[in-house]
Each structure stands twice: as C-alpha cells, then as structure tokens.
Amino acid sequence: MILRASTEPISGYTGYLMQPHPSNYNTSVLFVADYNKRELNIILTQPGSYSTAYRVASMANYQEVNIFVTCLDASFMSDVYRLAKDLRRLNKKSIHIIFPERLPMQVDSVIKMNHFKVSTFESKNDRNIRIEYHLSKESDYNAALQNNASVNGCVYDILVRLGQKMIFVPGVLSMWNLAKWCNCKGIEIHVPYSTTLYGGLSYLDLEDKAGRDIDYAIFRDCYVNSFASTEEYSIVRNNGTVRLAENASKYLL
C-alpha cells in the first residue's frame, strides 16, 4: 500500500563539491527522503561520493535505501558497490541499486539480487516520490529507438518527481534534452557551475546563452549543484547572484 505523505518529501544536498576536495567538505550528492525519514534515495552525480552518501545513509532511521547513479561506469562502480555492501552490514531493511542496465562487473549474489534493472522507481512510502531515468545523449536515444531495445554503457539524466516539484539532474546537458524538460511547470535544472563530468553544458554555458540561444525564463530554472574547487565555491557563494540547489542538511541529518 502506498502511503500519502503528510507534507512534501525532503530533497537536497549536503555539499556542493566535485572530487578531489578537502575532507571537511562534502561531495555533491542529491538526497530524497520521505517526510518520516524512513526511506532514503541517494542520487550520485559525482565519483568519490561514498563518504558523503554513507554518512547520511548510515543513520539508524533510514531503513530503506535506494542508490541511483547517472552512469554505472568504472568511476562510479566503486562508490555504488561499497555503499551497497557497507550499508548491508548495518542490518537495514532493504538496500537496492536502481539502474536501467545490468551491472558491468561481477558482484556477490546478494548485491546482484538487490539490483533493480528498471527505468522508473515509485516509492512505496510516499506517493509523491517518483524517480525516472532518461537517456542523456540524443545518439543513444535514437539508437535505442532504432534497435527497439535497451542500450548499455550509457549516461542518463535523472528526473525526480516530488509532487508539484520536479528536479532534473542531467548526465550530459545539451540543447536537445534541455528542450525536452525546460517548459515543465515546477522544474529545477541542477547543473555543475563550470566543470562537467561527461561534457555538455554547465551553468556558465547556460548563463552565456541566456537571452540569445535560450530564454531567460529557462535560465531562471537552473541551479548549481557542484563546484570544481573550494575556491570556486567560496567566490560564487560570496557573490550571491548564482542560484544554488537547496541544501537539506538540517532536514536530512
């Protein structure tokens, strides 16, 4: 039975940095939890996110943990595998890896069994939480259509639906996938400030295109979710004109 949430789900970040960074900072990880803080959905967008993700997910109240990732290549597989393995030792009720492709490496039978090869996840604890995978590159999308089959080794956009609010976390942002989602009511587009992992548009690129190649209304829906360095983060934060994705530390921890 899907429960009706008494209020909006909790969503946000506990840090905004890409690796490498000093140990007293957190890596950019998007967390989504039901209002009762029983279920935690971890959306990994940067390699090296294990410590940040584990610190939140290891809390005793989070008994159902789901791990999502924009790409399950070698740079992310260690984080995903270690999280699933180490959280299992804490006797959580359930730990699942949600990803639309098969796991690219040999894993133990328990982790393999707890991998859900699906493109859409709907929370059983909060009817307002729905998380979707969408192919990030137009070429992969066209190949999947042409072959009428799934493709492997791809980068994905993750769309998080939270009732009246949506968060779009692109694996590779282009004018193609921006056009697909930019007119959706209540959407936030979360992008790196200057440096992207797999290429594509950054916040600075979008700022440069605003008013010329894209509408200012679209740019106003864009928020920064990661910075390449502590220096960059400090400069931008003190500037005060750049929109940061929501920090949810006080709600999650």
For residues 26 and 253, give the distance between their C-alpha atoms in angstroms, rounded to a whole number.
Answer: 13
For residues 12 and 57, give the distance between their C-alpha atoms in angstroms, rounded to a whole number.
Answer: 14
- Taking the CA atoms of 33, 249, 67 and 225 in sequence, report the sign of the dihedral they define: positive
For residue 53, give both structure tokens.
């993700």
Pairing of strands 165-169, 156-162: antiparallel
Q: Strands of 50-128 (E only): list them.
A: 64-69, 94-98, 115-116, 120-122
For residues 162 and 66, give the distance between their C-alpha atoms in angstroms, rounded to a whole number.
Answer: 16
Question: Mind listing the pLDDT tens digit for each residue in 70-124?
Answer: 999 989 999 999 999 999 999 999 999 999 998 876 666 657 678 899 999 999 9
For residue 112, give both structure tokens.
């393999």
Query: Helix, strand, coil shares of the chain as percentages rounded to 5?
Result: 30, 25, 45
Question: Mind listing the pLDDT tens digit for each residue in 30-75?
Answer: 999 999 999 999 999 999 999 999 999 999 999 999 999 999 998 9
On whether the CB atoms of residues 237 and 2 are closer than 8 A, the answer is: no
Side-chain half-sphere exposure of 20, counting CA atoms within 13 A: 1
Question: Mind listing the pLDDT tens digit for each residue in 145-176?
Answer: 776 656 678 999 999 999 999 999 999 999 99
pTM: 0.92
Continuous segment of H or E residues that includes residue 81: helix 74-88
Domain boundaries, the chain: 10-252
pLDDT at residue 150, as a whole number: 64
Tell me which of 1.10.357.10, 3.60.15.10, 3.40.50.300, 3.20.20.70 is the CATH number of domain 10-252: 3.60.15.10
pLDDT at residue 1, as a whole number: 40
CA angle (136, 139, 141) in 5-degree steps: 60
